[in-house]
Each structure stands twice: as C-alpha cells, then as structure tokens.
Amino acid sequence: MQIDDVHAALMMRDPAQKCAATRALHAGDSSALAEARGTPEAVIVPGRPDAPALVHPAKLAKRGLGKPAGRAALIHAIAHIEFNAINLGLDAAYRFRGMPAAFYADWLSLAADESRHFEMLNNRLADYGFTYGDFDAHNGLWEMAVKTAHDVMIRMALVPRVLEARGLDVTPGMIEKLRQAGDSETVAILEVILEEEVPHVEIGTRWFRYCAEPRGLDPDSTFTQLLDEYMNGGPPGPYNFPARRQAKFSENELDWLARRHS
C-alpha cells in the first residue's frame, strides 16, 4: 500500500466504491505509510456524491420521530456523519506524515468501521424508501478537517475528541427516542455504533497526547485552550461522562467541561 492509494480512496465519490476501497486498505499492509514523505495535497472538498445538498445547519428541516419520514431524516443525518467520518479517517492517514506505523493502522481501522456503519444506516434508510442523498445535510465535520489540516495535534484534539465525541453524548438520547417510537431495528444499529465509537474517540486521545507531550505541552490545558480558540469552548452538555472516561478523557478535562457548561 502506498500513500497515493489512500488519497485515491479519499477522493472516490461513489459511496459503495469508497466503502469497498476503505475496507481493502484496512485489510492491507499499511506499514509503508509511515515512510511516506512529500507534501500532501490540500483537500478542500473530499470525494463525495453530488447529493446530499449541503446547507447551513439552521436550514435543515426539523422532523419529529413520530412519523416514518422523521425517523428516516434522523437516520440520514447519522449516515451523513458516518460518511464524513470515512473521509476523516482516510484524510488523517493520508495527510499527516512521519507518524508511527500504528497511527496509520489506527486511522484506517477507524475508517473501515465507519464504512460499515454507513452501509448499515444506508440499508436501514432503504427500508424507509430512501437512500443517502435524499435529505439535505451540513458540512461541519469536513470544515473542521480543513481548519485542522496544518497540525496533526490540533486535528487529533478537535475532530475525534470533540466532533466524534459528540456522538457519545447524543446517541443514548436518540436510542431512547427511537425505542419509544418502536424502531428497534435502528436502535440495534445505533447501539453498535455507540459501542464502537468509544475506541474511535480513544484513538484521538492517544495520538493527541502523543503529539502534545514532545512539544512540552500539558495535554489537559492544551485541549481546553484549543476548544476556546477554535470552537468557543466546544459543544454544550450534557456529556456522557462514562463513555468519555472509557475514551480516556482525563478527570481534569471532564471537570473543565462540567464547569464550563454547567
């Protein structure tokens, strides 16, 4: 496997082809990626299909879960997050050079998991008579990828440990609402995703600390400083503290979040 193979998968627009290529990369030998040199290409727009249309989050339609169309819209929104997460995993493996071989193995493993999550959700969406692209979506995840493309430490802090960690906070509530709506099939999918997202966030924790400490930076205070600098303190609570502890957030970080958003 060469670094150009990862870039090719990142730029694939067809979701099915991207998912298959991502799993093939994960199944291959990624050790050569640690030896890759050269300047990575800027990826302002990764490979994605023409649909969904990307709009400001405020323009996304609000739909209740009491009706099938509302549940389908929620499933689509989560599928969009998972599709973006494939690109985020591939981009981390492509963009950041000179990291240990385990870094590339971690991010290709994460991308492969996200491809499976996306397909599970898209298949469930088909049960409702829809497919990925049938609802509008927003581009917040990838916008943060572009903002953090210059520094692997900042990427590790703000994408897996903030944006992906948000899924740990909100998914239990979605599961409960879908359970009340009688959608046990989607509940089962989200339970798998919630369980597997914990180690994904932990990947971010591990590599963020790996990058911070050689720079002489305290990881806890650096994380909160980055939240203030880039995200106005980060998303509001409530937080899933047990899941965040499993993902190796420190008690200092969790205390700061609790105080900041109490």
pLDDT digits (tens, 9 = 90+) for 179-230: 999 999 999 999 999 999 999 999 999 999 999 999 999 999 999 999 999 9
Q: How far apart are CA 119 and CA 125, in angstroms?
A: 10
Report the percentage of the chain scoring pLDDT > 70.
Answer: 99
Q: What confidence tier does 234 reach under pLDDT thresholds 50, 70, 90?
A: confident
**Average predicted confidence (pLDDT) for the chain:** 95
Averaged pLDDT, 6-12: 98
Q: How far apart are CA 10 and CA 14, in angstroms?
A: 11
Position with higher pLDDT, 259 vs 90: 90
Name which of 137, 166, 140 is nearest 76 in CA terms.
Answer: 137
Residue 260 has pLDDT above 80, yes or no: no
Annotate 21-44 with DSSP letters as a single string. HHHHHHHS--GGGGG--SPPPP-S
Q: What confidence tier does 61 reach under pLDDT thresholds 50, 70, 90?
A: confident
Tally DSSP H helices, then E strands, for the chain: 11, 0
Name which of 173, 165, 174 is nearest 121 in CA terms.
Answer: 174
The token pair at 102 is 């385990």
Residue 261 has pLDDT above 80, yes or no: no
Residue 259 has pLDDT above 90, yes or no: no
Position with higher pLDDT, 24 vs 66: 24
Sign of torsion, CA 170 175 180 182? positive
DSSP 3-state of 218:
coil
The tens digit of pLDDT for each residue in 137-179 reads: 999 999 999 999 999 999 999 999 999 999 999 999 999 999 9
Q: What confidence tier does 105 reach under pLDDT thresholds 50, 70, 90?
A: very high
Query: Could you give the domains of the chain?
Result: 3-32+53-260 (1.20.1260)
The token pair at 24 is 């093939």
Instruction: Quote the pLDDT of residue 262.
Output: 62
Q: How far apart are CA 144 and CA 211, in angstroms?
A: 19
Q: How far apart are CA 91 and CA 85, in angstroms?
A: 10
Q: Is 57 within 8 Å of 166 (Cβ atoms)?
A: no
